[in-house]
Amino acid sequence: MNRYYKIYDFELHGQNPQELHTVRTIDVEGQRICLVRLKEGYYAIDDRCPHAGARLGLGKCDEEGRVICPVHRYKYDAKTGRGLPAQGDYVKTYLVETRNDGVYIALEKKWWQIF
């Protein structure tokens, strides 16, 4: 079961609150998430690089939609979370929806939040 959190409100932040091919760290319910904007929309991955533990939201995004770790330059596909084949690792992805009024991210509810 997912719970959606509004991360951008188009009325407050405008229709394009984040530049294309950029990353930033957001905090949702105590979780650090790397938010990426590509021409296809917004994508979200875990903010922690599995290789060195660096914050991916402090890195960059290339033209192919890969988030580049600021420490060792490891790359992760913003859509799938997969690292390059030579890396053999991945980061968790999150569902992001763009609605008429803003951008939302879905987080799984913990079992104790359901009751």
pLDDT at site 36: 98
Mean pLDDT of the chain: 92
Task: Provide, rounded to the nearest whole percent, the portion of the chain with pLDDT above 90.
Answer: 81
* Whether the predicted pLDDT of 21 surpasses 70: yes
- What residue type is assigned to position 13 of the chain? H
* Region 40-68 average pLDDT: 96
* Region 93-102 average pLDDT: 96
Q: What is the DSSP string of 98-113?
A: EETTEEEEEEEPPHHH
Cβ(80)–Cβ(73) below 8 Å: no
pLDDT at site 23: 98
* Region 59-76 average pLDDT: 96
Quickly count: other Cβ atoms within 10 Å of residue 103's Cβ. 22
* Whether the predicted pLDDT of 114 surpasses 80: no
Map out the domains of the chain with their CATH numbers: 2-110 (2.102.10.10)
Q: pTM of the entire structure? A: 0.90
